[in-house]
């Protein structure tokens, strides 16, 4: 899917998406490093807040933390997809006006 970010649709193409993995060993991707969505408000800030909460709850119990990393990826995938769906709903609503 491509959307144009300027009124009238003549702006640069916008390519939304997300990472396949949000945690890889000791690297955590949050906010704009984790996903690209239209700039429609505080969605990125909300995702950073949610990621921090998940990270604290899923702090690794072992050195590799593979189980916690998989759960973090699962939760963040759900968060990003919900944020994407909300952004799409807003875009469609604006297009109808």
Q: Domains of the chain: which residue ranges?
A: 3-96
Burial readout 35-47 (b: 16 or more C-beta within 10 A, e: otherwise): bbbeeeeebbeeb
Residue 5 in this model has a pLDDT that exceeds 60: no
| Among 6-10, 53-57, 85-89, the range of highest mean pLDDT | 53-57
* Global pTM value: 0.60
Between 45 and 89, the higher pLDDT residue = 89
Residue 72, judged by CB atoms within 10 A of its CB (0-12, 13-18, 19+), counts as: buried
The reported pLDDT for the residue numbered 56 is 92
Q: Confidence class of residue 40 from pLDDT cuts 50, 70 and 90?
A: low
């Amino acid at each position: 899917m491509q959307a144009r970010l300027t009124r009238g649709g003549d702006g640069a193409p916008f390519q939304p998406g997300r990472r396949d993995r949000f945690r890889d060993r000791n690297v955590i991707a949050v906010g704009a490093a984790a996903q690209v969505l239209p700039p429609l408000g505080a969605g990125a800030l909300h995702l950073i807040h949610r990621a921090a909460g998940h990270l604290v709850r899923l702090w690794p119990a072992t050195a590799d933390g593979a189980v916690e990393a998989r759960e973090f990826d699962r939760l963040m995938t759900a968060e990003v997809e919900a944020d994407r769906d909300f952004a799409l709903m807003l875009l469609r609503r604006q297009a109808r006006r």
